[in-house]
């Protein structure tokens, strides 16, 4: 893209932060739209080429950010996640995943910014269905894609939605599986899991960031309007038991794992989604064993 000016939502999250830093390193003018400006400053440290704008829940704050940043493309990664929602999560899921996104799209239309890389989830496709959300979070992600379709048809947007599988890498503070296993082994905390037969499709954050960058290149050559959806997959899912065993092997750990100590989660994804389209000119490059070994070494230090 000739005008390398991006606006990123969710820039303080694990993937968004990595994307922001990589784009800045590659010479992009990067702008973040965040709920808490102070938190973004702490996350990005001395990344001086990144501007931060604060979203206060109203469209005016988004308009102000667009007016100053003047982006040529938007990367939408902001979301509220709840694997198994409680009643207090419902409003947060709707507000973050539908209301904010819709406000963003409307401001894009009014400021003539029509290039968008959106973030979806493989969990929209339970049991490999075209639509069968694992949980309410996945349902809101799918609902937002339908709202995007309105702006594609009526406002002639160009959109790619990248549907992510599990992700991992250095700096992940989400308390996800791999970080939990590594930390538990270092801290000598007992490991207890479900029976462990579910397949895990997990992608290193560096490869995920590469997918977002490739999406920009491919999107530029698309006709108007368009909304295409792609799975960002390792293409090599691994049983949970094997994944934990691999981490133990890399850490020379022989701790006995309690398999079956917990029940499977309601609507546990046993077989990851496979009926997805692949993004042109993108393949995962970080092998799981290498990515895990590097992460273990970093945490050791």
Query: Per-residue pLDDT tens for 108-166?
Result: 999 999 999 999 999 999 999 999 999 999 999 999 999 999 999 999 999 999 999 99
Same domain as 209, residue 65: yes
Same domain as 250, residue 185: yes
- Asked if 209 and 18 touch (Cβ cutoff 8 Å), the reply is yes
pLDDT of residue 76: 98
Mean pLDDT score, 237-247: 98
pLDDT of residue 38: 62
In a domain, 278, yes or no: no
Say yes or no to pLDDT of 28 above 70.
yes
Burial of 86 (0-12, 13-18, 19+ CB in 10 A): exposed
Same domain as 239, residue 109: no
Say yes or no to pLDDT of 41 above 70.
no
pLDDT of residue 46: 47
Classify each residue of 57-75 as buried b or exposed e, where b means 16 or more C-beta atoms within 10 Å of its C-beta.
eeeebbebbbeebebbbbb
| Residues sharing a CB contact under 8 Å with residue 202, sequence separation 6 or more, in sequence order | 165, 166, 167, 168, 178, 234, 237, 238, 243, 288
CATH number at residue 248: 3.90.25.10
Q: To the nearest whole number, what is the mean pLDDT of the chain?
A: 95
Same domain as 42, residue 112: yes
Same domain as 226, residue 83: yes
Task: Name 200's bridge partners.
Answer: 238
pLDDT of residue 156: 98
pTM value is 0.96
Range of the domain at 243: 177-201+235-273+285-300
Same domain as 210, residue 79: yes
> What distance in Å separates the CA atoms of residue 3 and residue 254, rounded to the nearest whole number?
53
pLDDT of residue 44: 58
Classify each residue of 223-261 as buried b or exposed e, where b means 16 or more C-beta atoms within 10 Å of its C-beta.
eebebebbbbbbeebbebbebbebbbebbebeeebebee
In a domain, 14, yes or no: yes
Same domain as 37, residue 105: yes
In a domain, 279, yes or no: no
Mean pLDDT score, 211-228: 97
Closest CA to 234 of 288, 180, 299, 280: 288
Same domain as 55, residue 192: no
Number of domains in the chain: 2
Question: In degrees rounded to 5, what are phi and psi of residue 226?
Answer: -160, 145
Same domain as 195, residue 75: no
In a domain, 280, yes or no: no
- Give residue 300's pLDDT band: very low, low, confident or very high (50, 70, 90): confident
Same domain as 208, residue 110: yes
Mean pLDDT lowest among 36-45, 240-249, 276-285: 36-45
- Kindly state the helix (H) or strand (E) to which residue 155 belongs, with its residue range: helix 136-155
Reduced to 3 states, what is the DSSP secondary structure of residue 99?
helix
In a domain, 260, yes or no: yes
Same domain as 206, residue 196: no
């Amino acid at each position: 893209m000739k005008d390398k000016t991006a606006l990123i939502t969710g820039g303080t999250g694990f993937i968004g932060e990595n994307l922001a830093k990589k784009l800045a390193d590659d010479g992009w003018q990067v702008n973040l739209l965040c709920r808490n400006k102070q938190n973004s400053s702490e996350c990005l440290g001395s990344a001086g080429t990144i501007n931060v704008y604060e979203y206060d829940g109203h469209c005016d704050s988004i308009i102000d950010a667009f007016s100053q940043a003047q982006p040529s493309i938007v990367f939408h990664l902001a979301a509220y996640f709840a694997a198994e929602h409680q009643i207090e999560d419902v409003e947060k899921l709707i507000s973050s995943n539908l209301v904010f996104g819709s406000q963003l799209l409307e401001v894009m239309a009014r400021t003539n910014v029509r290039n968008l890389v959106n973030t979806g989830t493989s969990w929209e496709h339970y049991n490999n269905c075209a639509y069968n959300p694992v949980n309410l979070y996945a349902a809101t992600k799918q609902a937002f894609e339908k709202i995007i379709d309105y702006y594609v048809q009526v406002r002639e947007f160009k959109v790619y939605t990248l549907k992510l599988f599990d992700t991992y890498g250095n700096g992940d503070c989400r308390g996800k599986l791999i970080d939990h296993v590594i930390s538990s082994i270092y801290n000598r905390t007992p490991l207890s899991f479900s029976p462990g037969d579910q397949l895990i499709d997990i992608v290193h954050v560096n490869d995920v960031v590469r997918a977002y960058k490739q999406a920009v290149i491919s999107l530029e050559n698309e006709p108007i309007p368009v909304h295409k959806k792609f799975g960002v997959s390792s293409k090599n899912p691994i049983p949970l038991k094997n994944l934990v065993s691999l981490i133990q092997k890399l850490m020379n750990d022989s701790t006995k794992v309690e398999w079956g100590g917990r029940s499977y989660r309601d609507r546990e994804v046993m077989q990851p989604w496979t009926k997805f389209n692949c993004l042109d000119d993108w393949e995962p490059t970080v092998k799981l064993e290498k990515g895990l070994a590097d992460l273990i070494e970093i945490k050791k230090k």
